[in-house]
Structure 1
Amino acid sequence: MSADPGPAATPRHPVADLLLAAWRGPRPPVDGSWRRVPTWRAGVHAVVSVTGRAVVTAPDDVTDAELEALGVDGWGHAHDPRVMTRLAGRDGWVDVLDAVLVAPGTGEPDPRVVPRPDLRDHPRVRHALPIRGDVRVHGLEADDDTVLTLATGLGGLTEMSLEVAARHRGTGLGTTLARAARGLVASGEPVVACVSPGNVPSLRALLRAGFEPVGSVQVYLPRR
């Protein structure tokens, strides 16, 4: 009698595969190609690029031929504003172009960072709710302006975001929160962070906390 192999592992979304391959390998070919993939969350779309490759989730009324005519490729043109405008439609919402960084979870929570479900009206949380699933809110016990979120985000991977109260900026708290996010995820499991390249303090905090850049993303919500 053969042993029961147990339940099959759930396959990862192609966006997750692309990002994790860019992070830990095997690296995808650097050939300038792009491909269309399904969404990982109903109604939420994105253009994701890594070195020499891109993937696009697109509404059904946008054809591959249209995207090719607009110059979509794996060399960065997938993020062309004309492409994003066509994808989102005249009344759609397009997020800023973000750098994507990844770090492994450590499974070592920071006791200073505690669940704060009472902060679900914080602007950082309100931003996460329409585009991510299972949003969990953390923060500091005596601070209603500093927040850390963990959610099911880009490509179905765990995604974090943070905001440090203005009075605490420059103190290293951003790095502390980014490390705390890793501590809230099982050891070795990937944690994604998306940050505008112009947000230098947050980018530096993520790098100091052990996150590594792997690509870029623009999330959008089409209106049809």
Structure 2
Amino acid sequence: MGRLAEVFAASAGGTFPPPDGVVEVVPRPTPLGLEAVLEFTAHALVATALAPDDVLRLGFDAYGGVVSPDFLRWLAGPDGEVGCHDAVLVRRGTGHSDLPARTDLDDHPRVLDSRRRRTRVTVYGDDRGLVTVGRGLANRWETSVELFENTRGGEGIGRVLISEAVGHVPEAEPVFASVAPGNAASL
């Protein structure tokens, strides 16, 4: 198990890295070529293909420095892109869901985005919306959700769809969802 996988497993159980001001540079654990910065209270991990010395010599700290625009632009490089800063939520898989697979949604923008960031993505849904379930950073289970525009009475429907999504993950396995803080309804 790599360092990121260890941190994800511990965090899913409520144990976080110590608030020691350390920036850890760890190998990029994804076949998709994505770099990542994970921020905890006074502790950060930078998952990259770059040499640790190259990252650390810049002097960006674990108190918000490694998520500053200057650092993220440097990490992305001249041809890379910087995504948004997400809050990461976690639940446990339940191993049971009635939400059916939906191969007819393979061209939906949410599905295309999910497949850019994850492997082994499966799409599930019904007339209310869709969820994706796949393997993401450090091979962790990840999900995303989108309500369809015609969904009425949206309060709570996203929560129901997420409950169905985690049912497609083995019981007790952590499932992660990244949510842009501006999407307050999802938080």
TM-score by length of 1: 0.76
User: Could you give the per-residue CA deviations for residues 119-139 of structure 1, whole angstroms, max 9, x where no partner exists?
Assistant: 111000111112211111111
Q: CA–CA distance in 2 between the matches of 1:50 and 1:23?
A: 13
Residue 130 to residue 27, structure 1, CA distance change in 2 (3 Å): closer
Percent identity, please. Answer: 38
- Please state if 1:44 is matched with 2:30: no
RMSD: 1.9
Residue 74 to residue 23, structure 1, CA distance change in 2 (3 Å): farther
**Shift, 1:23, TM fit:** 3.2
Which amino acid in the other structure matches residue 124 of structure 1?
R
Which amino acid in the other structure matches residue 106 of structure 2?
R
- 5+ residue gaps in structure 1? 1-10, 204-224
Contact 2:93 2:166 in 1 (8 A): yes
Q: CA–CA distance in 1 between the matches of 2:73 and 2:159?
A: 35
Higher RCO (C-alpha under 8 Å, 6+ residues apart): 1
Tell me which residue corresponds to 1:210.
none
Contact 1:30 1:53 in 2 (8 A): yes
Q: CA–CA distance in 2 between the matches of 1:22 and 1:51?
A: 12
- Please state if 1:133 is matched with 2:122: no
2:143 is matched with which residue: 157, 160, 164?
A: 160
Correspondences of 1:118-129 after superposition (within 5 Å):
118-129=104-115
Contact 1:158 1:191 in 2 (8 A): yes
User: Could you give the per-residue CA deviations for residues 66-94 of structure 1, whole angstroms, max 9, x where no partner exists?
Assistant: 544252x2222211111110011122122
Q: CA–CA distance in 2 between the matches of 1:63 and 1:16?
A: 18
Contact 1:67 1:83 in 2 (8 A): no
Q: CA–CA distance in 1 between the matches of 2:118 and 2:186?
A: 20
Q: CA–CA distance in 1 between the matches of 2:18 and 2:52?
A: 24
**Shift, 1:97, TM fit:** 0.6
Instruction: Please identify the structure whose Cα radius of gyration is greater.
Output: 1
Moved more, 190-199 or 43-52: 43-52
Correspondences of 1:49-64 after superposition (within 5 Å):
49-60=39-50, 64=53
Residue 95 to residue 183, structure 1, CA distance change in 2 (3 Å): same
Residue 27 to residue 70, structure 1, CA distance change in 2 (3 Å): closer
**Shift, 1:52, TM fit:** 2.1
How many correspondences in the alignment? 185
- Please state if 1:98 is matched with 2:86: yes
TM-score by length of 2: 0.90
**Shift, 1:47, TM fit:** 0.7
Contact 1:136 1:151 in 2 (8 A): yes
- 5+ residue gaps in structure 2? none
